Amino acid sequence: MTNHSKKQLKIAVIGYKLAEGGLERVFGNTTIMLHKYGAEVHTIVLEDAIEYDYGGKLIVFGKFSKFLKYFKLRNYLIKEKFDFIIDFRHRINPKMEWLFLNFIYKNTKTIYTVHSSRLQTYLTASNYIARHIFKKVDKVVSVSNFIKQKIEDEFQFNSVAVIPNAVNIQLASITKKLPFDYCIAVGRLVALKQFDKLIESYSKSNLPNKNIHLVILGTGEEQSKLEQLVTNLQMNDFVHLLGFKEDVFDYISNAKFLVLSSKYEGFPMTILEALSLGTPVVSFDCESGPNEMIVNNQNGILVENQNFNELTHKMNIFVEDEILSQNCKKNAVSSVSKFQSNVIVKQWLQILNNGN
């Protein structure tokens, strides 16, 4: 019960799953950080998919029907009396969002997180409901300054805080080595990531001639399309679609550089993780995130957004200019020290304890 010393925060962190993508890894990392720094964390997962680590107590509602799942979630939130809900869901169904705000989350302070520059993925395409969301939630936390600005401009909502994704990597002691030099891309095999165009850009580059391969980690609906493309380009010896890997950090840490070719992002974890492992990055300057982590020619290269010819050119430069690549490698780890979890968790606690 309450006493006069500062009471322990009790927080429900809610998301769909702890598997597959960068958002889900951020969800898990946030629960670990808050648990480690003294909050009572209940990690609530709405689907039956758990692959990533998490902090605190795990509650899974995945086996119930949609109606029963949300009814049980509401009852659980009422019973446990949380100080805060931190919500990591996509919010694309206006009716469902109305239900969450007026019924499921009712009477509990709620923070909505936004992880993509495509706001309609996180705030529903209905402006009416989106405005209603802003009346009901206590805070919106965006992962980048770009997204904060966009929310303020589009919705005139000013209670937006920026808390970037955090990174806290412990490398395994034995790293796996592939028997060739390579650059790497990591993410779900979906259209947003544009791995097809990346493979084409790579095939036109000097990298195959220099025996520098392209490794892509991830699974998704474009798998067979990408495999066919690799065959058509006669790149089977050089492009490797290795699927999902538990030990993704081992693969990233041994790469010459990581490459990001997305249409848009939020605050891409792959860039943050690569830099924290000492692996430089070649990335489109897409909205949003890359230019809040990459300092051009210092820890990587920012490429004109969606210019795939330029991407080919910059990949060439990165492997041909040894001084540039070594310099970027040397600066990589220190360039992301401000995103370490012990720094980022203080920003969360500031909001949770003081409301700002």
**pLDDT(1) > 90:** no
Q: Which of 9, 23, 12, 17 is nearest to 105 (CA)?
A: 12
The CATH class of 10-166+340-354 is alpha beta
**For the chain, domain boundaries:** 10-166+340-354, 181-338
Average pLDDT rounded to a whole number, residues 1-21: 77
CATH 3.40.50.2000 is right for the domain spanning 181-338 = yes
Cβ neighbours around 296 below 10 Å, total = 12
Residues 6 or more apart from 243 whose CB is under 8 A from it? Answer: 217, 218, 219
CA Rg, the chain, in Å?
A: 21
Distance of alpha carbon 48 from alpha carbon 45, whole angstroms: 7
Q: Where are the alpha helices (DSSP H) in 182-247?
A: 195-204, 223-232
Angle at 39 between CA 34 and CA 42, to 5 degrees: 80
**Paired tokens of 295:** 């300092």
pLDDT band of residue 11 (cuts 50, 70, 90) is very high
Average pLDDT score over the chain: 89
More reliable by pLDDT, 144 or 170: 144
Give 247's DSSP letter: T
Query: How much is the pLDDT for 20?
Result: 76
d(CA 14, CA 45): 6
pLDDT, tens digit (0-9, with 9 covering 90-100), for 185-223: 999 999 999 999 999 999 999 999 999 999 999 999 999
At residue 222, the pLDDT reads 95
Evaluate if residue 51 carries a pLDDT over 80. Answer: yes
**Contact call for residues 4 and 10 (beta carbons, < 8 A):** no
Same fold, 10-166+340-354 and 181-338: yes
CA distance 15 to 27: 7
Instruction: Record the pTM.
Output: 0.83
* Dist. CA 181–CA 183, nearest whole Å: 7
Whether the per-residue pLDDT at 169 is higher than 60: the answer is yes
- Give CA 209 to chain center in angstroms: 33
